[in-house]
Structure 1
Amino acid sequence: MDPAQEHPDNPFGMDEECRNCPNLRDVRTNVVHGYGDVGADFMFVGGRPGPGADRTGIPFTGDDAGRRLQRILGDLGFSNSPADAAEPELDNAYLTYLTRCRHPDRGPTDEEVATCDAYLTADVRMINPEIIVPIGALALRGVAVEHTTRDADALSVEECHATTIRGRGFELVPMQGLSDQTDADTDAFVEHVAESVLDRDYRQTKGRSGARD
């Protein structure tokens, strides 16, 4: 983690009592802002908090989906903690969401995504990542519409899983939704990042050969 960073939880001091979405503010448990290394090259973006993160307030913790991502981070050398850690120790990875509150019975509406966009935009600007990993279809569409020249509605997370897509100033490496992944999907993602991203100087080659248009 960045040695100048005081703590990994909501390091930019975003509003933890946000009440901008009237249909979410009374049913959520926590507003779940970003967590991790503010000097990270890799930003992992989910669509919305899972039930575990809603309970703990820490992205991708407290449930099976979160434990899968934490295992992935460990396999890639981004985490020094066990997969079930309540506050994982991350290095070179920052975790955040497209939307920050969880409705227990439905996904976010387009209006809620738009309302939360300022938080994600601030995360991207503050972190300035080299690689963004959108997790799941909702996150892929949300990130692609702002940060690539691709038709976001035409992108399939199943087809784009464990590939690299050229973005505006960085690369996207989409990941299938954590609850939808098979072990083979997880292995394919880890292998792609380890061999096709980390095994080259991605800081110098982003947007060049090896990245899809």
Structure 2
Amino acid sequence: MDANQETVANPFGMDEDCRQCPALCETRTQIVHGYGDVSADFLVLGESPGSGADATGVPFTDDEGGRAVLSMLSELGFVDAADGDEPTVENVFLTTLTRCHHPERGPTDDEVRNCEGFLTAEIRMINPEIILPVGQRPLDALAAEYTTKRVDDFDVEDDHATTIRGRGFELVPVIAPEEQTDEQRAALLDHLASLLDRDYRQTKGRRGR
């Protein structure tokens, strides 16, 4: 699977008519695959597309929760603006555990499993240095797959704005930005700024960009 360097929307050409989850086929407007810089060092992982992403086709856009994430990334210089439907991004890739929106509930375990191949392919192709799981569900999924600890050892409230060593990259758990206190937001921005100030590529050595 090769990346289309000319596009930031679904750059790996993943299936845009997947029908593995019949219930979601009935509720989604479109499938929302990853969006961003295919050579990014940072990957932001949400749980599922919100209502805004379902309308735009771009993760974390056009609704309150998504704009809160983009606002955080904008402060760090990864995103040009928090309110655009097709933000300009640099050194960050935006994606979610599942790819279809349901207006009344989060994804089931089966739906998460059905989308595992999409996420695994994006992580392998992008090979990020640092992954930011936004919320407990994304943290649990990454912990189970990419760390040597038990999932029960991780709690997004306790681990927020800290660094956890994963297999080949680092995790920085994030409480959903719209739920953060001012102190939690400041701690996260300070922690990420400190990662940008140091040579975070020491996680697995430098790579060609």
Per the TM superposition, whether the score is higher than 0.5 is yes
Structure 2 equivalent of residue 186 of structure 1: 185
Instruction: Measure the CA separation in 2 of the matches of 1:76 and 1:134.
Output: 17
| 2:83 partner letter | D
Higher percent of residues as helix: 2
- Superposition deviation, residue 166 in structure 1: 0.4
Structure 1 range deviating more: 181-190 or 111-120: 181-190
Structure 2 equivalent of residue 25 of structure 1: 25
Structure 2 equivalent of residue 200 of structure 1: 198
- Superposition deviation, residue 47 in structure 1: 0.8
Equivalent residues of 1:136, 1:178 under 8 A apart: no
Structure 1 equivalent of residue 43 of structure 2: 43
Deviation sequence 1:43-64 (CA, Å, 0-9, x none): 0000111111111110000011
Instruction: Measure the CA separation in 2 of the matches of 1:69 and 1:184.
Output: 16
Q: Pairwise CA RMSD of aligned residues?
A: 1.3
Report the identity percentage: 56
Q: Aligned with 2:15: secondary structure?
A: coil
Equivalent residues of 1:48, 1:102 under 8 A apart: yes
| 1:16 partner letter | E
Instruction: Measure the CA separation in 1 of the matches of 2:180 and 2:28.
Output: 26
Structure 1 equivalent of residue 90 of structure 2: 91
- Superposition deviation, residue 23 in structure 1: 1.3
State how 1:161-180 maps to structure 2 within 5 Å. 161-180=160-179
Deviation sequence 1:20-73 (CA, Å, 0-9, x none): 101111111121100000010000000111111111110000011111111111
Note the residue ranges of structure 1 that are not aligned, 5 or more in a row.
208-213
Structure 2 equivalent of residue 133 of structure 1: 132
Instruction: Measure the CA separation in 2 of the matches of 1:67 and 1:155.
Output: 26
Equivalent residues of 2:81, 2:87 under 8 A apart: yes
Structure 1 range deviating more: 16-25 or 117-126: 16-25
Give the TM-score of the pair, scaled to structure 1: 0.91
Equivalent residues of 1:161, 1:175 under 8 A apart: yes
- Superposition deviation, residue 82 in structure 1: 1.8
Instruction: Measure the CA separation in 2 of the matches of 1:179 and 1:154.
Output: 24
Instruction: Measure the CA separation in 2 of the matches of 1:25 and 1:120.
Output: 19
| 2:123 partner letter | V
Structure 2 equivalent of residue 71 of structure 1: 71
Superposed structure 1 runs of 4+ greater than 4 Å apart: none
Aligned length: 201
Instruction: Measure the CA separation in 1 of the matches of 2:185 and 2:68.
Output: 8
**CA 1:183–1:67: 2 relative to 1, 3 Å:** farther
- Superposition deviation, residue 189 in structure 1: 0.9
Instruction: Measure the CA separation in 1 of the matches of 2:201 and 2:153.
Output: 28
Equivalent residues of 1:37, 1:94 under 8 A apart: yes
Note the residue ranges of structure 2 that are not aligned, 5 or more in a row.
205-209
Instruction: Measure the CA separation in 2 of the matches of 1:146 and 1:131.
Output: 15
Instruction: Measure the CA separation in 2 of the matches of 1:128 and 1:24.
Output: 29
Equivalent residues of 1:43, 1:132 under 8 A apart: yes
Deviation sequence 1:157-201 (CA, Å, 0-9, x none): 001110000000110001002332233322211111102x11111
Instruction: Measure the CA separation in 1 of the matches of 2:108 and 2:143.
Output: 17
| 1:190 partner letter | L
Equivalent residues of 1:136, 1:157 under 8 A apart: yes
Give the TM-score of the pair, scaled to structure 2: 0.92
